[in-house]
Amino acid sequence: MAGSNSGLNSANSANSDFLSQVQAHVQANKGRYLEELKSFIRQPSISTIDVGMGEASQMLAAFMRRLGIRTTIYPTRRHPVVFGEIGPEDGAAPAGMRTLLVYGHYDVQPPEPLEKWVTPPFEPAVRDGKLYGRGTSDNKGQLFAHLKGLESYLAVTGAESGAAGAAARLPIKIKYLFEGEEETGSPNLRPFVLEHKELLRADAAIFSDSHYHESGRPSLILGLKGLLPLELRAKELASDQHSMKATVLPSAPWRLVTLLSTIKGEDGLVKIDGFYDTVRAPLPEEMEAADRIPVNDTEILKAHGAKHLLDNRFGRRYYHNMMFEPTFNISGLVSGYTGKGTKTVLPAEASVKIDIRLVPDMRPDDIHAKVVRHLEKHGYGDVEVARAELGLIPSRTPITNPYVEVARRAAADAWGDEPVIFPSTGGAGPNYIFTDDLGVPCIVIPFAASDQANHAPNESLVLDGFEKGIVASAMVIKYMSES
C-alpha cells in the first residue's frame, strides 16, 4: 500500500511540475502568442460572402507548418479544409499510441453593423483584458489556443518547434481538422469526413467553441441535440373570403390550431405515437453531473422575464429536461390579417413552422415519418408537411468515456477549478460527424467567456481564457498519452 501511494504521489508531483512549466512558458510567451493571433484576426475570412477565405486558409496552414505539422489544404465545393498531422505516420506509430483529432473553424460571421464596433472588426485591439475583433472567440482564437498548446508542449519537453525530432518526441499523434464553412452550416464537412475516414482515424476528438461557465469555472460539453425543422401548411380555400362565410366554409387557421392541439397538451408532452421510443435514457453518472450544475430558478425567471417554468422543469429538472428531453417547438404561426385595425376575413391558408430538437438516439427521418403518420391518423392527411433541410442527428459522448477524464483533468489543471460538466446542452450541432461517422468520443472544452458576443458587434476573447486554453490543450496531450 505504502509503495503504491508513494508511486501515486510522485506521479502527481511530476504532473504538477509539468503544469507549472507549461504555465511559466505561456506567461513568458503570451505576448508573442497574442501578436500571432492578432495577425490571424487581421485576415478577414467571411465564408458567407467569400471574403479572404483562400488567404486565411494559407495563413493557417503556414502557422501549422511552422510547428512541424504536416499540413495539406483540401479544396471542397466551396471553402477549403485545412488538415494537418504531427507525430509518426499512421503505419509507423508505436502500438498503443493514441491519436487526438482537434477540430475548429477559421471562417467568421460577417461583421455588420460596422458602426456598432468600438474598434474595427479586423483591427484587433486589447481593452480591459480582452482581445476585440471578429473571430477572436468564434473560432480563430479558440482554435489558435490548440496550436499554441502544441507549441508549449514541445517547448517544455525540450523539443524544438518545427524540427522533425520534435514531432518524434510527441507522446501522441495529433490531427487537425479546420474547416472554412461552419458559419454557413458546414455543408461540405460531412462529405469531406466520409471521404477521408482513414485519414481522420483517431481515438478522441476535441474542439473549443461556445463559452465556459458564467461563474468563471471551466466547462466540458459532451453532447448536442439534433434538429428537424418542418413546416405544416393547411389550405382550405382558393382565396381569402369575407368572414360572413365563416358559418359555412372551412377555416384554415382553425384547422391548423385544432391539429396542433392533438400534438401537445398542457403537460408539455408530445402525443405523437412513438415520439419518445428511441430516446436514450441518461446514465446515472450523467444524471449526477446534471444535478451538479449550478441552477437558480429565481434568476432564470428574472433573466427571461418569465412568470413560471413549465410543469416539472424547476430546480434540478431545469437542466435534466434541457439536456435529455426532445422539444416540439412552434417557431412561427402565420395566417390571415396581422396589420392595424380590423379586417373581417376568412383566411384561405395557414402555416406553422416547427423546430423539433432531437436527443440521442432519435433520427430526423424517423420523427418526420411519425409526424406524417400522426396527421393521417387524426384526419389531417391533406395538410402539407414541408421539410426544407435534412436536419441534424443528435450526439452524446457518455460521461463515463475515459477521454472525458483526460479533458476534465486538463481543464481542472488550467483553471485551478473543477469543470462544470454538461452531459448535453440544448444547442444543436454536427458533433455526430465525430461520434457517429468516425465513431470517436467528442468533447468540447470552451476557452471563451460567456460575454464573448460572438456573431455580434464587439466580439471578444478574454485573454485569461486564451492563456488557460493553451495550458489545457498542452495538458490534454500529456494526459492522453497516459490514458
Binding site for Zn ion (CB under 5 A): 138
Contact in structure between 220 and 443 (CB atoms under 8 Å):
yes
CB of 50 to Zn ion, least distance (A): 17
Q: Which is nearer to Zn ion, 100 or 461 (CB)?
A: 461
CB of 212 to Zn ion, least distance (A): 16
- Rounded to 10°, the helix 2-42/463-482 angle is 140
CB of 207 to Zn ion, least distance (A): 12
Q: Which is nearer to Zn ion, 138 or 181 (CB)?
A: 138
CB of 456 to Zn ion, least distance (A): 10
Q: Which is nearer to Zn ion, 138 or 179 (CB)?
A: 138
Q: Which is nearer to Zn ion, 113 or 305 (CB)?
A: 113
d(CA 216, CA 417): 9
CB of 183 to Zn ion, least distance (A): 5
CB of 86 to Zn ion, least distance (A): 27
Q: Which is nearer to Zn ion, 105 or 320 (CB)?
A: 105
d(CA 140, CA 411): 20
9 burial (CB, 10 Å; 0-12 / 13-18 / 19+) is: exposed
Site of grid cell 446534471: 290
d(CA 144, CA 60): 9
Q: Which is nearer to Zn ion, 152 or 208 (CB)?
A: 208
245 burial (CB, 10 Å; 0-12 / 13-18 / 19+) is: exposed
d(CA 59, CA 40): 7
Q: Which is nearer to Zn ion, 371 or 444 (CB)?
A: 444
Q: Which is nearer to Zn ion, 108 or 354 (CB)?
A: 108
CB of 463 to Zn ion, least distance (A): 20
N-to-C CA span, the chain: 22
CB of 75 to Zn ion, least distance (A): 23
CB of 139 to Zn ion, least distance (A): 7
Q: Which is nearer to Zn ion, 138 or 203 (CB)?
A: 138
Residue (of 221, 35, 18) closest to 144 by Cα position: 35
CB of 137 to Zn ion, least distance (A): 9
CB of 298 to Zn ion, least distance (A): 31
